[in-house]
Amino acid sequence: MYEESPQRSCENSLQRLCENSPQRLCEKSPQRLCQKSLQPSCEKNSQRSCEKNPQRSYEKNHQRRRFIKSAMATALGAGAAGAGMALLPRAAAAVPVETSTKITGINTFVMRRAIFVKVTADNGMVGWGECAQNNKALMETFVHNGLKQQVIGRDPFDTEPLWDQMFYLNHDLGPGGALANAIAGIDIAIWDLKARMLGLPVYKLLGGKYRDRVLAYGSFAVDAGNKMTPKQAAAQAVDFVRDGFTVVKLRMQIREYRLNPEPDPTLVYVRAVDRAIGNDAEIFVDINNGYSAGRAVQVGRQLFEEFGIRYYEEPCSDQNHRETRQVVDELQDMLVIAGEKEYTRWQLTELITRANPDIINPDIVKAGGITEMKKIAAIAQAFTKPIVCHNTRPTLATAATLHFAASISNCGPFVEFPETKKKFAALLRVMDTNVRLEDGFLYLPEGPGLGIEVNEQRVRAASQSIK
Ligand SMILES: [Mg+2]
């Protein structure tokens, strides 16, 4: 076990100590005289110490060196888990964590209204996540041809290095948009998996919770292509109010390519909804990027003065932060929201520093998943910006959003939730248990992982493509 005899090792180490000590002690006195007088005394003492108990002296010295090496290895990040644990007293390591677990499979399930991602580990456990689904074929390909190879064989507890590798090794294919969207599905699934392995809800791994529930606002797309009439929009808003929502959002979906439309639909729709719901709920208006700064200020003032609208989302293009900045500066009575098209910490930093929106609204299934959203939240906090999570998907995305929203101090007053009775009715049927929505609030799931249960059999039956 020992590389050299205890006796010899002890003598060698004490000899070195003695050689150095007199040198240091003598620095302030006449060198030669001092060394002459101290050296014999030191040699005598060390000899005696080793003869008396060579084994104990050696082990003591050896243990000290081992401790220093372990601490250095931890500090350098080399074998951090093992070295770190060696420093802890036995009682502190009460819950052993199996860190040798490996991810062995990634599957995607493309359904009509969602793309689910399943991550499987070699212990048989699985985690579920969700990708943004603007282009299902692209997401499916991106996950399997771009990201899968960085994840298979890796430890699910390595969410930070895994995120970095998925992002930086595919940087040429991003960095925002599809790359961040695809990473999100895998990242959320891995968080679900590792929390399930520990038998804990995800928020516990995120540092705990600031809240048990978040007020939800009912969100629906009016669509300036006239898919919904003002009367239908009013009926939809009334339906949300009947279901207990106290805030509803009209997504005008004007877009840049219909910039500053004439006639302008916004006031027409808001007037119809306002008449229908009266004081039963607050109205929140999303322009979806369709105004120049001048038009946004003009319409914003009317919305505030005529209907008391306070929340005004993406009035201008996400491609032009100067325009948004102008609106923020001129509409002091309104809260301008932006950030659903920024997908990374760097894009959000650009948005905040250039456009200075009052509230940011990144989406967890677009902005790189839970791992990236925590970083975005920290940046937002440094700029004193609340986060109102963008969330248009009612199952896994909502659950992941709730765990994230519960774990940050700068969560805004509410979180987005879509209409589920028509558009998402089929998707809800693939869930054995889903998030709880009651009296307008979404409740933080308390079960292991994301805390909701997917029925894989039904997901398979509902899928157009499985890989
Ligand atoms: Mg929006």
Q: What is the pLDDT of residues 37-73, one digit of tens each?
A: 334 344 444 444 434 444 444 344 444 334 333 333 3
Nearest Cα residue to 208 out of 199, 200, 198, 218: 200
Token couple for 220: 């629906």
- Residue 417 and residue 437: Cα distance in Å, rounded? 10
For residue 340, the CA-to-ligand 1 centroid distance in Å is 6
For residue 236, the CA-to-ligand 1 centroid distance in Å is 18
3-state secondary structure 133-184: CCCHHHHHHHHHHHHHHHHCCCCCCCHHHHHHHHHHCCHHHCCCCHHHHHHH
Q: Pairing state of beta strands 359-360 and 335-338?
A: parallel
Is the pLDDT at 4 greater than 60? The verdict is: no
Task: Check: CB of residue 286 under 8 Å from CB of residue 255.
Answer: no
Dihedral of the alpha carbons of 441, 428, 113, 369, in degrees to the nearest 10? 50
Rounded to an integer, the average pLDDT of 86-110 is 69
Is the pLDDT at 82 greater than 60? The verdict is: no
CB-based contacts of 399, cutoff 8 Å, min separation 6: 434, 435, 445, 450, 451, 452
Rounded to an integer, the average pLDDT of 1-15 is 43
For residue 217, the CA-to-ligand 1 centroid distance in Å is 13
Token couple for 91: 């009682």
- What's the CATH code, domain 103-199? 3.30.390.10
Binned at pLDDT 50, 70 and 90, residue 437 comes out as very high
Rounded to an integer, the average pLDDT of 5-31 is 43
Binned at pLDDT 50, 70 and 90, residue 99 comes out as low
Strands (E), 308-374: 311-313, 335-338, 359-360
Is the pLDDT at 131 greater than 80? The verdict is: yes
Q: Is 218 helix (H, G, I), strand (E, B) or coil?
A: strand
Q: What is the pLDDT of residues 282-334, one digit of tens each?
A: 999 999 999 999 999 999 999 999 999 999 999 999 999 999 999 999 999 99
* CATH H-level superfamily of 203-454: Enolase-like C-terminal domain (3.20.20.120)
For residue 423, the CA-to-ligand 1 centroid distance in Å is 18
Q: What is the pLDDT of residues 270-282, one digit of tens each?
A: 999 999 999 999 9
Binned at pLDDT 50, 70 and 90, residue 227 comes out as confident
Binned at pLDDT 50, 70 and 90, residue 134 comes out as confident
Rounded to an integer, the average pLDDT of 6-26 is 43
Nearest Cα residue to 145 out of 124, 173, 122: 173
Q: What is the pTM of this model?
A: 0.80
Is the pLDDT at 384 greater than 60? The verdict is: yes
Q: What is the pLDDT of residue 223?
A: 75
Rounded to an integer, the average pLDDT of 326-346 is 97
Binned at pLDDT 50, 70 and 90, residue 95 comes out as low
For residue 337, the CA-to-ligand 1 centroid distance in Å is 8
Neighbours of ion ligand 1 (CB under 5 A): 286, 313, 340
Nearest Cα residue to 196 out of 85, 319, 65, 97: 97
Residue with tokens 């970095």: 164
Q: What is the pLDDT of residue 225?
A: 60
Binned at pLDDT 50, 70 and 90, residue 76 comes out as very low
Task: Check: CB of residue 218 under 8 Å from CB of residue 439.
Answer: no
Residue with tokens 């294919």: 173
- Residue 185 and residue 363: Cα distance in Å, rounded? 12
Residues of the chain above pLDDT 90, percent: 75
Rounded to an integer, the average pLDDT of 393-402 is 98
For residue 41, the CA-to-ligand 1 centroid distance in Å is 81
The runs of H, that is alpha helices, within 169-286 are 178-198, 202-205, 230-242, 266-277
For residue 313, the CA-to-ligand 1 centroid distance in Å is 6
For residue 396, the CA-to-ligand 1 centroid distance in Å is 20
CB-based contacts of 124, cutoff 8 Å, min separation 6: none
Is the pLDDT at 210 greater than 90? The verdict is: yes
Residue with tokens 């104990």: 56
Task: Output the CA angle 330-334-338, nearest 5 degrees.
Answer: 90
For residue 385, the CA-to-ligand 1 centroid distance in Å is 17
Q: What is the pLDDT of residue 97?
A: 54
Q: What is the pLDDT of residue 409?
A: 98
Q: What is the pLDDT of residue 65?
A: 39
Tell which wins on pLDDT, 297 or 223: 297
